[in-house]
Structure 1
Amino acid sequence: MNSSAPPWRATAWAPTSTPVASQVSAAPAYIPVQARRSLASNKINHLPSNGSPAPQPNMSAADEAPRPRVEFPPAVRLYVQRCFAPENQVASVSHSEMQEKLRHVITDAAENHKLDMIDWERLALPQVMIQNERNKILANPSVSNWGMSSLPSSPGDTGRKRKSTDTNQQQSGKESPPWRKANNRNRFEDRVTYPSTEKKQRMTLDDSSKSKANLEMRKKRFEGVGYGNSGTSSPVDSPSRSVDPDQGPVVGRCQTLEKNYFRLTSAPNPDTVRPLPVLQKALDLLKKKWKQEGNYTYICDQFKSLRQDLTVQHIRNEFTVLVYEIHARIALEKGDLGEYNQCQTQLRVLYAQQLGGHPTEFKAYRILYFIYTRNWTAMNDALADVTAEDKQDLAVKHALDVRSALALGNYHRFFQLYLDTPNMGAYLMDMFVDRERLTALAAICRAYKPDVNIRFITEELGFESDEQTARFILDHSSEDTLEEKHGSVRLLTSKAAARFEQAKAEANRIVDIKGQI
């Protein structure tokens, strides 16, 4: 047995007496490397977070100096927080688009050393900037004909129409943005092949002239309409209300407590918008005037102006909820369902943002309101919003019982609930109680023959007196349906049945959101 070491062991473990020639002749089967002595040296093999190449072990200390870190001012940090706030999200702008725009805005400001120069509180949010850019593109008449130049010029190219159109757009670098693709997907012009370019040019000119004509007509229509006064200047051309759309929400400077409501026809003027401290003082004044004077026309106008100032300044807090709740209660008291419905719709959005207020009270009002309008689709949505905790509230439980009684046709239970309504729900039930009385009278006429005591009807249908009951019956039937017998007035159900069935059908027609039949 040969005791000499194999060739692959010769280099690593050869004794000092081994001839040099034998070491040269034996080639090693591996590459020797230096063993790692500690974990610290491994850190330099990783790329830093900024993506720059990793420094080598033999680099000097000056070469390994880290890049200076940018310290963002508190205003920039608050600006980023507002960008990601749920109430500031825009459905048409995706999260990735907003992030990309935000990165571009902050990076550009940092590179130009403008982080401390920009008014971040008034700067528009990235999603607002994207919307403004899209609106400018859509308002441009030339953009409305996007893709027309890429239509095939001969009827024989219809088979390759889609492919050639996409290729031309990519080559020209003018591919239409996603929102334009969605809007123009079903346009008739995009699905027609024109044999000549002359006809396409004529269509482009026609579309441009129509857009300009529409702008001129709109401008003339608003001539003579002032903002907050009786001025004759056009709101479109008024220099005092020219606001940069990229500056975000308006910050009011008006100090007047009372201000009439005017529908906005252009960007709001900060000189006519009241800031939050002034709006709080204005609300206290309106509550006092409502208690003293009770002038609903004046109060409603002032509250609409108050709500408008909150909207243009993007103010959403507990004070906003308080304003809408007070206006909704006043509108209920005066039977103004149009204003109540506007407040109710906005309150549902505000309650979803956990801004305080009385959400259970107005959930009960919503259920009663949809009973009145007979909007069962909206009723299903309202019932889906009711939680197990809400059902413990007295007002919500009452509203659910009212709905159940009507669904079962239990008019006896319904009028018991009508006489014991919490909060301001009685104002809503007053709006449809006569309709349910007609339905109950139609059922009574079918069940009781040949007549029924009018006193029984008074007690069952929640009337205050027999005289009120008789007056209600005569308003929906004739005098021959009432007869005095045995010292009491009785309703002849056989004669009144057809009259009340007809009145019931008229009363159960669908009601729209403004309370109009």
Structure 2
Amino acid sequence: MNASWSHPPPPGTESYGYAHAPAYHPVQVRQSFNQPAISYQITAPIQPKPTEQPAQKKKIDWPQPVRDYVQRSFDPSNVLADVDRKDMEDKLKVTISEATDNNTLHTIDWANLPLPQHVIRQERATAAAAIAWQRESVNMQQMAGSSFMNPAREQMLKSKKRKSQDIGDAADDESKSIPPWRATNPRNGFEDRITYPADRFDKRQQPLQDDALKGTSKFNKALEKRQKRFDGGYKSTYKASPSPEPSSGPVIGTCQTLEKQYFRLTAPPIPSQVRPEHILRQTLDLLKKKWKKEGNYSYICDQFKSMRQDLTVQRIKNEFTVTVYEIHARIALEKGDLGEYNQCQTQLKALYDQNLGGNPVEFKAYRILYFIHTSNRTSLNDVLADLTTAEKGEPAIKHALNVRSALALGNYHRFFRLYLDTPNMGAYLMDMFVVRERLAALSNMCKAYKPNVKLRFVTEELGFESDGDAAQFIYDHNGQFLLEERESGLVFLTGDAKQIFETAKVAAFSKVDIKGQI
């Protein structure tokens, strides 16, 4: 007879068959007519419950790449002094557990997966960088009164470099009497003669056509041109031309247009398309105002090249020519256009040799810094040989000579002090090679200071504006694992950085190729 359960069976009894053979019979006893019957359980002797065996853990067959990954992690050659073994084990467990839960044990490239100690370093560096950037806002407010701040650096933070328009005004007598910031009239009489925008200029000027060359093949044209070049044929041809434009001697321009797009000459210039000097002076005034107001370098560079071309074809060489080349050189320097700057610099050297005025001391200092940047020792020695005793005492040239001396002696401390106190616009030139000098200095620091130095020390020695900039520089050169946050502050692990920055230094000191160099 099968008895039914009045209460749920005891936990765990289902697996032993008690649900089919109960050990007692329920008996109902009524105590009163108003109360429901209560079930009493008369239990029979029950055999002792067998002892539960502990569940055996399922054995995981770890793939061989995972085993190799663990072995590499604890290999003595890969152990990092600043990462504890316990931290490595915890990170390793997390990595493998996540791969197991995601069923990616067999798909992860364990051979190229960063080791746990490297992951820990990267996480520390990321956290340290965040702390450095958070501190930056506070440091900038306190920087003026801190012990490591010097007057040169304070001035640099306020205005690190002089602008081209500021120095361009210094060469203009009119600007000396009326400062540009007090000019109240934004328009002038010259602007009424402004031509259409640059996109409406003709792409190139129509060259004069020689009737004798019309209808001939390219070969015959080239042959005839070669014959005319040796026989003086160009002169006679253009003299016989019915065009009223003169063709011999310097061109005297008659164009009254202030703005004119630059084009490369493919034929003798036409006077009606060349601006005379008094128009070019008005053009210069207009371009200086537009550069201050708009800062459109593409347009300004094109207009200055057109002005230089008009001066060249008219053989105008005077103080105004020097001014045009100097202003264009400063603008190109400010925008980092070394090719255009070098063309202006080359012409200025010839103009200075004719004693036509200008600022030869300023640009001789630039030439020294420029040849330091391009590692052109021959040209640099030529410049130094041409310096007079008086010129060597000039502040700008003296500064450039000190930069050369500091680099020759490997004195990076002095070099970066000079970098923070560069006269005129020399800082733009020094910016072009300061990165490679910082890499060279870091390489030397990694050899001299071990196992680490404070990041603040790197900031001060290498002329960075902030700890954040120094940290970013290290990150940009594969130094993600070289910064560590400690109780004393952020530190740079120089002991582990030697090879990284030595390789970066060698790459940075490769040959410099300057587009447009003459």
Structure 1 length as normaliser, TM-score?
Answer: 0.54
2:483 aligned partner: 482
Q: Which moved more, 1:483-492 or 1:505-514?
A: 483-492
Report SS of the residue matched to 2:261. coil
Superimposed CA distance per residue, residues 51-87 of structure 1 (whole angstroms, 9 cap, x where no aligned partner): xxxxxxxxxxxxxxxxxxxxxxxxxxxxxxxxxxxxx
Cα separation, 2, equivalents of 1:400 and 1:484: 40
TM-score normalised by L of structure 2: 0.53
Match of 1:212 in 2: 220
The one-letter code of the counterpart of 1:262 is F
Alignment partner of 2:316: what SS?
coil
**8 Å contact 1:255–1:278 — kept in the other structure?**
yes
Q: Does 1:294 align with 2:302?
A: no
Partner of 1:199: none
SS at match of 2:485: strand
Amino acid at match of 1:396: I
Q: Distance in 1 between matches of 2:343 and 2:286?
A: 23
Counterpart-to-counterpart distance in 2, 1:240 and 1:399: 56
Alpha-carbon distance in structure 1 between the residues aligned to 2:386 and 2:257: 40
1:439/1:284 CA distance change after superposition, 3 Å: same
Per the TM alignment, residue 211 of structure 1 is displaced from its structure 2 partner at its CA by: 6.4
- 1:392 Cα deviation after fit: 1.6
**One-letter code aligned to 2:220:** K
Match of 1:396 in 2: 397
Report the counterpart of residue 286 of structure 2 in structure 1.
285
Counterpart contact for 1:241–1:267, Cα < 8 Å: no
Q: Deviations over 1:242-293 (max 9, x none)?
A: 8665x20101010001111011001000000001111111111111111111
Structure 1 residues 242 and 425: CA distance shift in structure 2, 3 A: farther
| 1:271 maps to 2:279 | no
Q: Which amino acid aligns with 1:401?
A: N
Q: What SS does structure 2 have at the residue aligned with 1:483? A: strand
Q: Percent identity?
A: 67
Contact 1:418–1:426 (CA<8 Å) still a contact in 2?
yes
Match of 2:63 in 1: none
The 1-side partners of 2:406 and 2:244 are apart by 57
Q: CA deviation at 1:467?
A: 1.1
Q: Distance in 1 between matches of 2:516 and 2:220?
A: 40
1:233 paired residue number: none
> Which residue does 1:438 correspond to in 2?
439
Verify the 8 A CA contact 1:454 1:466 in the aligned structure 2: yes
Three-state SS of the structure 2 residue aligned to 1:250 is coil
- Residue type at the aligned position of 1:497: K
Q: Distance in 2 between matches of 1:488 and 1:308?
A: 58
Distance in structure 2 (CA, Å) of the matches to 1:317 and 1:399: 28
Kindly report the root-mean-square deviation, in angstroms, between the aligned alpha carbons of the 2 structures.
2.7
CA–CA distance in 1 between the matches of 2:266 and 2:397?
40
Distance change in 2, residues 1:352/1:240 (3 Å): farther
* 2: CA distance, partners of 1:394 / 1:240: 58
Question: CA-to-partner distance for each residue in 1:312-364, whole Å, 9 max, x for gaps?
Answer: 00000000000000000111111111110000000000000000000000000
Contact 1:373 1:515 in 2 (8 A): no
The equivalent residue for 2:353 is 352
Q: CA deviation at 1:514?
A: 2.4
Partners of 1:464 and 1:276 in 2: CA distance:
45
- Tell me if the contact between 2:343 and 2:516 (Cα under 8 Å) persists in the aligned partners: no
Letter in 2 for 1:322: T
* 1:479 CA drift (Å): 1.8
Question: Quick one: distance in 2 between partners of 1:393 and 1:492?
Answer: 42
* 1:360 and 1:393 in contact (8 A); partners too: yes
* Number of equivalent positions: 292
Measured at CA, do residues 344 and 253 of structure 1 come closer, stay the same or move farther in structure 2, by a change above 3 Å? same
- Asked if structure 2 preserves the Cα contact closer than 8 Å seen for 1:241 and 1:269, the reply is no
* Partner in structure 1 of residue 312 of structure 2: 311
Change (3 A) 1:241 1:281: farther
Cα deviation, residue 500, structure 1? 0.3
Matches within 5 A, 1:92-491: 212=220, 214-215=222-223, 245=247, 247-491=248-492
CA separation in 2, counterparts of 1:379 and 1:265?
35
- Equivalent residues of 2:342, 2:516 under 8 A apart: no
- Kept in 2, the 8 Å contact 1:241–1:268? The answer is no
Q: Does 1:498 align with 2:506?
A: no
Contact 1:367 1:379 in 2 (8 A): yes
Quote the residue 1:35 is aligned against: none
Q: Write the deviation string for residues 398-429 of structure 1: whole angstroms up to 9, x where unpaired.
A: 00000000000000000000000000101111
Amino acid at match of 1:343: C
The structural deviation recorded for 1:512 is 2.3
Asked if structure 1 preserves the Cα contact closer than 8 Å seen for 2:311 and 2:321, the reply is yes
Higher relative contact order (CA 8 A, sep 6+): 2
In the other structure, the counterpart of 2:235 is none
